[in-house]
Amino acid sequence: MEELVGVTACLIGDMASRPNFGLNELDFVFSTLVVGSIMNFVLMYLLAPTMAASSSNLPAIFASCPTSHMFEPGAFGPVHRFGTFVYKGLVFACVGFAAGLVGTAISNALIVLRKKMDPNFQTPNKPPPTILNALTWSAHMGFSSNFRYQTLNGVEFVLAKGLPPAVFKGLVVILRCFNNVLGGVSFVTLARLTGSQKALDSGKTDSEEKEKLAVIVFVLLLSAAASGVVNL
């Protein structure tokens, strides 16, 4: 469900954040699809309770922290829960960097192959630098994805205790769709800021780009505030 619904929602958010709904930057969108598919699976696997049970031995500094996510049930203090957030953030950042390297290399290799098959084919944008794009994915996973998925686990835990199963499952789909759309938007924003995915000619003035960026940042802050209110 996370791969089918989650990656699709992420792509919608990604494309909606680009000029002409991403049609002029399909090479960047394809790179997001490849890397996002890899990381969505790994991220869900690392947060799963069964994964926590099979690998309960955390590094010594995090030994007393929840093993799955920061809202995991148990007698954990705020410091220990924050420790899980930090630990998972480091893990996700490493996963993001590795997946970013593999995914970017795959997408760039496929573009090169397409050029060999069709000499007249020209990409509309400069291919994203592999290392810089991997570092961007690392930062995105370590901060944005970590924060959103940790919060999502906490929200789902609260909802599961007070809602009928059918209603709960429906809300889970909605929440995860919204979460992945938000993830797609936040990655494009970060990629623009780092320069890892820069269109050759966006057709927009600097003031228009700054205005659009301000709107995106406002939506991200509003969503983060809403998530905090839900958890409280």
Name the amino acid, one letter, at 32: T
User: Using H for helix, E for strand and C for coil, what is the string for 132-172?
Assistant: HHHHHHHHHHHHHHHHHHHHHHHHHHHHHHHCCHHHHHHHH
**pLDDT at site 230:** 36
Give the pLDDT confidence score for residue 167 in this predicted structure: 92
Q: What pLDDT is attached to residue 205?
A: 45
Tokens of 23: 């049609």
Per-residue pLDDT at 47: 62
For residue 221, what are the domain limits? 2-231
Cβ–Cβ < 8 Å for 88, 148: no
What pLDDT shows up at residue 50? 57
Which of 78, 27, 24 has its CA nearest to residue 204? 24
* Number of independent structural domains in the chain: 1
In the chain (232 residues long), the average pLDDT of successive 10-residue segments reads: 74 77 73 79 69 57 80 86 89 88 82 80 75 90 88 88 89 84 84 76 48 48 42 37
CA dihedral 141, 143, 149, 154 (to 10 degrees): 160
